[in-house]
Amino acid sequence: MREIVLHEVGLRDGLQIERAVVPTDVKARWARRLAESGVDMIQLGSFVHQEKVPQMADTDELFGLFLNEKGLERGLACGVRYFCLGISASETHSRKNTGMSIAEAQDRIVKTALAARAAGAAVQVSVQSAFGCSYEGEVPEEQVLDIVSRYLDAGLTMISLADTVGHATPDRVTRLFSRVLQLDAQVECACHFHDTYGLGLVNCYAALEAGVTYFESAFAGLGGCPFTAVTGGNVCTEDLLHLWHRMGKRTDVSLDPIVDVSRDAAAYFSRELPGKIYKTGPIPPVRPALG
């Protein structure tokens, strides 16, 4: 198993907050270029309510990921075989995001996840706002672990912790992921950090040190949850990959196609986006001295 699995979420989490709807053909062009980089996974969209998140209205064409039972039907019909489902550890965020309490949302998510597995699909389940909430402030770790434990009781062992509003710090990242990994020997962990307060990359490094395998990020640092009080973009894919390259990790994945997409996105939205490497270029690799 690879130490690092790269999961690109820009076409879903990255675009969901943008007011200017990106045409399907542009999304498809970006998706093809991202695939050329060699990243392991690409989120193409989400089967959510089209009026609430109009950016996702074309997900049936692009395939995608879902939040509810109807989304499962649409996803399976499109041939989707890997689904990401999640609930919030914040009661306020849960109600704003889904219109349900944490308990109600988890009942629904577990039911949907098991149905997806029964249909032959792989499933990742997440805990959103796992490190804090812009409405409620600190989210107790025990509350997060209770949600994770219920997932595990249902046999769902691919677990993602999402820092939806960017409140995580490296010490808490290390501690919480370590506790999750101790709950079950079968657990695999994914992390999803937002860079709202500039801590995204250091939190990714802390997660790696804690034993996290899957890393979710968005090209150009796009993103932000539309149902939080303070929004900030995702960890930037090319910035994260540049870090891994500097550490000698995942050098099989190419930066250039991702940088191309980020530059294209900046031109499309007519503004500077949060990512760094698409603007500065990468630090050149050290060349061995000639003998």
Kindly list the catalytic residues.
225
Residue 285 counted as domain residue: no
More confident position, 85 or 226: 85
Whole-angstrom distance, CA of residue 115 vs CA of residue 86: 15
Q: In this predicted model, what pLDDT tens digit does every residue of 22-76 receive, in sequence order?
A: 998 899 899 999 999 999 998 887 766 666 677 777 666 665 433 444 455 655 6
Residue 289 counted as domain residue: no
Whole-angstrom distance, CA of residue 64 vs CA of residue 156: 20
Whole-angstrom distance, CA of residue 238 vs CA of residue 20: 23
Number of domains forming the structure of the chain? 1
Per mean pLDDT, which range of 148-152, 209-213, 282-286 is the poorest? 282-286
Per mean pLDDT, which range of 16-20, 256-260, 273-277 is the poorest? 16-20
Task: Categorize the per-residue pLDDT at 228 as very low, low, confident or very high, splitting at 50, 70 and 90.
Answer: low
Residue 68 counted as domain residue: yes
H/E element, 57: none
- pLDDT at residue 97 in the model: 77
Whole-angstrom distance, CA of residue 41 vs CA of residue 271: 27
Residue 284 counted as domain residue: no
Residue 283 counted as domain residue: no
Identity of the residue numbered 114: L
- CATH number of the domain at 242, please: 3.20.20.70
Q: In this predicted model, what pLDDT tens digit does every residue of 68-119 receive, in sequence order?
A: 444 556 556 656 677 889 999 999 888 987 889 999 999 999 999 999 999 8
Q: How do strand 122-128 and strand 65-66 relate by DSSP bridges? A: unpaired
What does DSSP assign to residue 76? H
Residue 61 counted as domain residue: yes
Residue 34 counted as domain residue: yes
pTM for this entry: 0.88
HSE toward the beta carbon, residue 22, CA cutoff 13 A: 28
Which of these, 110, 49, 52, lies nearest to 102 by C-alpha position?
Answer: 110
Task: Look up the domain containing 119 and give its range.
Answer: 5-278
Residue 271 counted as domain residue: yes
On the 0-12 / 13-18 / 19+ scale of CB atoms within 10 A, 21 is: middle
